[in-house]
Each structure stands twice: as structure tokens, then as C-alpha cells.
Amino acid sequence: MWAPAAEAVALEIDGGAPVAMSAEADGWFAAEAEAPAGTRYRFRIGELAVPDPASRLQAGGDVHGWSVVVDPAYAWRHGDWRGRPWEETVVMEVHAGLLGGFAGAAERLADWAELGVTAIELMPVAGVSGTRNWGYDGVLPYAPEASLGTPDELRALVDRAHGLGLSVLLDVVYNHFGPDGNYLGGYAPDFFRKDVDTPWGGAIDFGREAVARFFVDNALMWLEDYRFDGLRFDAVHAIADDAFLDAMAAEIRARTGGRHVHLVLENESNDAARLGGAAGAAFDAQWNDDFHNVLHVLLTGETHGYYRPFADAPAERLARCLAEGFVFQGEVFDAHTRGTPSAHLPPSRFVAFLQNHDQVGNRAMGERLTLLADPAKLRAATGLLLLSPQIPLLFMGEEAGSETPFLFFTDFHDDLADAVREGRRREFAKFPAFADPEAREMIPDPNAEATFAASRPGPGPDADGWRALYRDLLAIRRDRIVPGLARCRSLGAKVLGAKAVAARWALGEAVLEVAVNFGDEAVAFEGGEGEELCAIGEGARDGRLAAASFVAWIGRG
């Protein structure tokens, strides 16, 4: 136990006498005791009884209660699985709790595999206060959230996915802890910096060996004990320690050699250095918010909030995104400089999406694009997403044209519940639709069980049509585009109209060309050489690209 602020620490085993722990160097305390699997234990520091911060399981799911010793042994059925190359990846992001926990999500795997998905990405599963949470309020990073299932049920989910040829990625949160159940500040205040604040409190001090080790070992646990095929690191711009990130990635690579293990960033800084350089890439890819944001403007016309930087010349911004990856590569907007040059990076360094948990759930009413965009234009955007070389990510329900919301939900109580509910409503006060206090009262209460229940993805009225579209496009991607992705490079993009662009890439010996028009009128277009792979809408003919259309071709270079 690392408790540098404690004078004494005792190990308490349920049903036994406390065991005094010996003080060692650098704030560590140690003791040995018989503790077979199933043993309940905790640590006593003065008047404070706390769970193990690296607990593998909490009794009854209580993040304030007893930790439980877990036997990590598991009879893997597909222990020889080594994963899939990154270029083959098509991700489905899922919240296990909305699908019936780990066991319920496992029942969906065959359908996703049949559709053409090659990887699922679980939203965070670390232990949280309550039984309903997105997962980003975790306080015990080593303990799978009990409301989702047991550690072995999580292993069974991963094992079943591997048997179906699916990789499994996990979203991990290393930039902060949730507001209820984190005791580290009481006995290890050095875990946090006093000179740097974040929206969640003092920044985590990754420069301390014990702190860095806590998170690196957590990453290795998921990859080795649970056999996840990769990790998505949440909001690393809030970690703000590139040396830690690179060292963690290097150790993961060294420990998991021989497997396809993929490391993906969320990083508002658009830092291309993490994705490739003279020494190669520390990380496989980054979520490309720029792709989403400019497509959202083109599809919905919304230009408020973080869409504002994309409101001006969105077609030009989309063309840059398709050709170079990031839209913002060092430009200044509202006195802030964002991004670094990315044109040298291969397209597979970017994860593209039309929807995800943030972009849907951070809307006040959680609306999906099926309720915000013209269906024909949304289908054209789907073609662009799935047949462009950037790695596509889908959000659960998207493949069935779901119209159910994905709302922000938690399970806090008393004053914290009030603070979360009212804080969220204040957050939307700056938006015109919620300037009226009565309108803000309509925003669902995050802590209400009905908010969670309403967020379960259900099929839309044209579910079969959407599934057929995704299935057809993903088959084209698998057969005609993926084989050339490892050697893919941009051949440029051009603006065809106010809401229309075309782009080309070399795929080894082949050339992929796409054209998309989100406008209401046809635009002039000269191109489209080679075999037509797909046409959505009326397509291109007679030197024109029809409104609400997407077309893709492949030919020889």
C-alpha cells in the first residue's frame, strides 16, 4: 500500500485480527497474510477504512467497502488468438450496461461480426459509485464494475469475441477519478499535483514513479489478465505528460510482443508526434474529432459550441481532413492554437466517426443523427465513413438506424446528485434552445433510472435497410480497400461545391476515389475513373454529382 501521508497502516481481513503493516521506503507499507480467493480485505489508516486502490473486485460492488481477492486464472477457449492487424479494424463502440452487462453484450457479438465489424470497444468498466454510469467516473481502475458482471464474465465476453474473429478494445480513463469513492487524496496526496488544476481537481502527478506504475500496471492487467486487444486512452490532453504516455506505450509494446495490440488516443491537442515520427508511432491512432465535427456541420447546419470553428467553409475543411487527417494543424481560433501538421501520417492513424458516446450523449436530449439529419444525406455520409481509408468507428445502434437517445446518466445520491443534475442544466444555458429556465427543466435528470432505461439502443423504423447498407459497405471495405491500407497515401482532395468534395488515395497499386455531395443541388464533377464500387443516391453522371450522393471508384494507379 502506497500511503506516503500515513504514519501507520493496518491490513484488515474480514473476520480476522488487523495486521500491522511495516513502513518501508518512499511511503510504502507492506504485510503478508493468508488470503485465498474470496477473502475480503481493506486498509485501516487512523480512523479511515479504505478499499485497496488496486482492488480487483469490490464486495457487492460497493466502492467504499471491502475489496475481494480474485484468482486471475481462467480457462481460455481461444488462448491462441493473436489479434488482427490495425488496418482491418472497424470498431463498434458499446456501453455494456445498456446491453445487459458483459453477458448481454456477449450475445450481440455474432450479429456485429456478421455485419462486418471487426472490433468492439467497451466504454470504461472501472468500478464506479452506484450502478448506472457512462464509466468515466471510475474510482477503482482495476476492479470491473460489479453492475456489469463479474471478472470472469468480462473474460468470457473477450473470449467469445475472439472465437468470432473480433478484437476487443477497452476505453480507460487515466486523467482523473470520479467524484465519489476516491480516497487517495486522504493518504496519498502526492498522487496529485498542487500546481496544476483540471476540471476534476488537481492533476494526477505522473512524474512520480508510484503513480506512473499504478497506471502502467493497470494497462498491462487489462491486456494480459483479460486479454484485451487494445486500449483507448481517454482525454490524454488532460494528462499533459508526453514522456509518461510514450514510456507506457513502449512498455506495453515490449510486454505484448507477438500480438496485435492497438493503442488509441483521444487528444484534443491534435498532437501528430504521438502518432508517428523518426522513431515510429507510439500509438496506433487518434480519434479524429475534426472528421466528426465538420460532417456534423454539413449534415445538420448546427454551428454553435464546438462546431463554430467548422462553420466557415466546411467543404474546404472536410477536404483537408480527408487529405491530411487533422483539420486544425496549428491554426489559431479564439486565441487558442490547436494541432500540429499531420499530412505526413497515413490515413489509418485517424479514427473517424459520425457518432460516438460523447457526440450524442453530450447533447442535452441525446439525439442521434437519424433525428437531426436528412436520411439521404446521412446515408451518403455513411458511405464516406466506411469507404474512406481512415479507420471507421460506429456507435451501438447506429447500424440499425436507431432513433432512441443516448443520454448522460449517473447514479449519484443526495447533494452530489443535485450538483450533477443542476450543473448539467447550467451547462446548456448558453445554448439558445435552453436559454429559458423552463426549457432547461426538460433536460433529463442524469440520476433518474428512466434516463438510463431510455438510452438502451433500439432498432429504427428502417432497421433492415440500414443494416443492409452497413453490411454491403463493410464487405466492399474488407475486400477492396483493406488489402491496400498498409500502403495507403493521400493523392489530395478538392472542393466541388459549398457542401461537396472529392478525394483520392493510393492503395498500393490501386487508386481509390470518392466524391460526396451534402448539398441540395447537383455540382459539376469530372472524375470517377475505374470500377464503381458503390453509389448512394443518384450518384455521378454526365459531369455532375447529384445532391445527397456518395460514389466510390477503384482503379489502377
Which residues are part of the catalytic machinery? 234, 266
- Per the CB < 8 A criterion, the answer to whether 128 and 138 are in contact is yes
Q: Give the three cell numbers for residue 111.
A: 450479429
Q: 7 burial class (0-12, 13-18, 19+ CB within 10 angstroms)?
A: exposed
- In this structure, what DSSP letter does residue 445 have? P
Residue 276's φ and ψ, nearest 5 degrees, are 160, 145
Long-range (24+ apart) CB contacts under 8 A made by 194-198 are 196/240, 198/238
Neighbours of 252 (CB within 10 A): 20
- Per the CB < 8 A criterion, the answer to whether 128 and 177 are in contact is no
Nearest residue to 175 (alpha-carbon basis) of 251, 130, 239, 127: 239
Residue for grid cell 500500500: 1
Q: 549-556 and 510-517: which strand pairing?
A: antiparallel
Q: 331-333 and 336-338: which strand pairing?
A: antiparallel
Q: Give the three cell numbers for residue 34.
A: 493468508
Sequence-ordered list of residues with C-beta below 8 angstroms from that of 486, at least 6 positions apart, any chain: 85, 87, 348, 508
What sections of 164-313 are H helices per DSSP?
Answer: 184-187, 209-224, 242-255, 289-300
Helix (H) or strand (E) holding 456: none
Percent of residues in the chain assigned helix, strand, coil, to nearest 5? 35, 25, 40
Determine the Cα–Cα distance for residues 140 and 144; give it in Å rounded to an integer.
Answer: 8
Q: Give the three cell numbers for residue 516.
A: 460526396
